Amino acid sequence: MTLLAVERIKLLTTRSPWWCALTALVLTSGFTALVVGNASEEFPATVATTQFAYSFGMAVIMVLATLAITTEYRFGTIRTTFQAVPNRSAALLAKTTVVAVLALVIGEIMAFASWGLSLLLQPEADLALNGTADWLNVAGVGPACALAAVVAVAVGILVRHSAGAISLVLIYFLAVESLVPIIPSIGDDIYKWMPFNVLHKFVTGDGASNAGRVADAGAPLSTSTLSPGWALVYFAVFAVGLLAIAIGTARKRDA
């Protein structure tokens, strides 16, 4: 508990988490206002469309998570941390836990803020959370952001440099996976198992909350063949596995 308290203080007494949280909220709310505010009979507002911009907020949260660890390497405070806590695994797990919890909270705030804003913009639309699919579409954003933050921390531990780690995380998240389907013959099959495509399946499901929405009115659905529950497990295993590799690497090299 002491390690968690220390990491919480270190994280929340810097400016970057607060600026990243504000940026994530502004980005998602802004894009939601554009999409839902322009809804029409042809492109109706649904629960799914209220979360159209969650991936933009997730990208900012991943930047926050990367900075949480790489700034320690940049300023050399990681050496002090490892001197105070010789068990590097415990120290890094504590930091990852704090970052993941913060990402969960930010993710839920931006998801429900987008949903609430949509209710104000389209009071006549059917935006009630009536079933599991609707709740996953909104409340599922928080857990998705938490696991994405774990991946970002792992990359930060491996790369250690802020610019390099952030570039790697964002390029992969925003570009690399989307380019996989263009690989001849096998691209689509590979893409079904790409980590963030599978995570997207957890949030959007099979489109059960998209009733009345045409395809162009919201973000594309995941092509993963897994159920939402197994999609979450799949990405969690990927995130924990990458973190384990990162911690194992950090234990073997100089701080």
CB atoms within 10 A of CB 1: 6
The pLDDT assigned to 239 comes to: 97
The conformation of residue 186, written as its DSSP 8-state character, comes to T
Comparing CA positions, the residue from 16, 77, 70, 27 lying closest to residue 52 is: 27
- What are the backbone angles phi and psi of residue 86, rounded to the nearest 5°? -60, -25
Predicted pLDDT of residue 107: 96
Tell me which residue of 18, 19, 203, 28 sits closest to 114, measured CA to CA: 28
Which tokens in the block code for residue 26?
């502004």
User: Full-prediction pTM beyond 0.85?
Assistant: yes
Q: Each residue of 118-138: pLDDT tens digit?
A: 999 888 888 888 888 889 889
Domains: count for the chain: 1
Q: Which domain holds residue 215?
A: 2-252
pLDDT at 142: 95
- Residue in this structure with the two tokens 């609707």, named with its chain if needed: 134
Q: For every one of its 255 residues, what pLDDT tens digit does the chain have, with 9 covering 90 and above? A: 788 888 888 888 888 899 999 999 999 999 999 988 887 777 788 888 889 889 999 999 999 999 999 999 888 888 888 888 888 999 999 999 999 999 999 999 999 999 999 999 888 888 888 888 889 889 999 999 999 999 999 999 999 999 999 999 999 999 999 899 999 889 899 999 999 999 999 998 876 555 444 445 556 788 888 999 999 999 999 999 999 999 999 888 876
State the pLDDT at residue 25.
95
